Amino acid sequence: MKKILVVDDEKNIRILFRDELEEAGYEVELAESGKEALAKINASPPDLVILDIRMADMTGIEVLQAVREKHKTLPVIMCTAVRGLQDDFTIWDAEVFAYLTKPIDLDELKEKVRQALGE
């Protein structure tokens, strides 16, 4: 079973994504902060990370940069409520698989997850 790490500081988003992705057949871990996410990734890398951009302790971009130092090929889907960030070259330079804007269409999320995991 493929493991997905959902990183978002909003509890309701984490729970919604977990429920939807578990129903789709994935193992889902949750992290509410960038530091927690990095600890989980370094302890046991998931098959995919779904990463919020705006969080209290670190931005998603900072987390992504730290992830890329050790896990260059780990697929990452970035999520944010801020429209227009998909044009930010730092996201694409770090090889993000996809960029989704909140509110997230759950069918689109699951499709991007399948694509990122090569399913």
* Least confidently predicted of 19-23, 85-89, 112-116: 85-89
Backbone angles phi and psi of 69, in degrees to 5 = -65, -35
Q: How confident is the model at residue 81 (pLDDT cuts 50, 70, 90)?
A: confident
User: How far, in Å, CA of 36 to CA of 68, rounded?
Assistant: 16
Instruction: Identify the CATH class of 3-56+84-114.
Output: alpha beta
* Residues ≥6 apart with Cβ < 8 Å to 10: 52
User: How far, in Å, CA of 70 to CA of 10, rounded?
Assistant: 26
Q: pLDDT tens digits, residue range 93-119?
A: 557 778 788 888 999 999 999 999 999
Q: How confident is the model at residue 83 (pLDDT cuts 50, 70, 90)?
A: low
Q: How confident is the model at residue 9 (pLDDT cuts 50, 70, 90)?
A: very high
Cis peptide before 103 (omega within 30 of 0): yes
pTM over 0.75: yes
Q: What residues does each domain of the chain span?
A: 3-56+84-114
Measuring CA to CA, which residue among 12, 10, 55, 7 is closest to residue 31? 7
